[in-house]
């Protein structure tokens, strides 16, 4: 039986000159070599593979385009939202800075008010202390007057009692 090479009968990897050297001659060597099988199967397979690859590539490309459009839409919405927030932020910032500037300008008045309140509080305390001191002095004077008046009647009573005692004796 002949050796099969690449599944083709009569195909030998050895060249004819080599087979002559070794003294072996194949009976099929006089016949023409069989024709190569048609490439229609291989061509169809290649075309199918190429078509599938092209379809896959187009599908991936369409998916990338879809994702890009979807993300771009979301990005535009976010950008619009950010713009409105920044505009509002800028307005609030300018208002805040204006109010802060006004507050800083008015700080001396706030300090003056605090100083005035502290001065009034100190003055009220001073008046209270003066009233307490005056009250203590008045009480002391009243006691002294009472004591002085008390001594005088006691002395008078003692003087009156003494002559009576002297008269009785």
Mean pLDDT of 68-83: 97
Q: Which residue has the higher pLDDT, 140 or 7?
A: 140
- Is residue 48 situated within a structural domain? yes
- Is residue 106 situated within a structural domain? yes
What residue numbers bound the domain in which 51 lies?
Answer: 44-149
- Is residue 14 situated within a structural domain? no
Alpha-carbon distance 149 to 21, whole Å?
172
pTM, full prediction:
0.38
Mean pLDDT of 118-146: 93
Q: How confident is the model at residue 66 (pLDDT cuts 50, 70, 90)?
A: very high
Q: Which residue has the higher pLDDT, 34 or 2?
A: 34
Alpha-carbon distance 101 to 41, whole Å?
86
- Is residue 161 situated within a structural domain? no
Provide the domain count of the chain. Answer: 1
Alpha-carbon distance 107 to 29, whole Å?
118
Distances (CA, A) of 4 to 1, 11, 129: 9, 6, 132
- Is residue 66 situated within a structural domain? yes
- Is residue 126 situated within a structural domain? yes
- Is residue 35 situated within a structural domain? no
- Is residue 164 situated within a structural domain? no
Condensed to tens digits (0 to 9), the pLDDT of residues 3-12 reads: 555 556 555 5
Q: What is the mean pLDDT of the chain?
A: 81
């Amino acid at each position: 039986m002949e050796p099969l090479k690449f599944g083709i009968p009569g195909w030998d990897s050895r060249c004819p000159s080599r087979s002559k050297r070794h003294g072996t001659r194949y009976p099929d060597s006089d016949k023409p070599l069989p024709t190569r099988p048609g490439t229609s199967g291989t061509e169809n397979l290649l075309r199918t593979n190429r078509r599938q690859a092209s379809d896959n590539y187009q599908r991936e490309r369409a998916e990338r385009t879809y994702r890009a459009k979807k993300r771009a839409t979301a990005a535009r919405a976010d950008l619009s939202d950010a713009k409105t927030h920044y505009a509002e932020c800028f307005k609030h910032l300018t208002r805040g800075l204006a109010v802060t500037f006004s507050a800083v300008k008015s700080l001396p008045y706030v300090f003056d008010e605090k100083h005035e309140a502290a001065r009034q509080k100190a003055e009220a305390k001073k008046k209270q202390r003066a009233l307490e001191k005056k009250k203590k002095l008045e009480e002391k004077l009243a006691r002294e007057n009472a004591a002085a008046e008390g001594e005088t009647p006691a002395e008078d009573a003692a003087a009156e009692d003494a002559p009576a005692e002297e008269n009785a004796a």
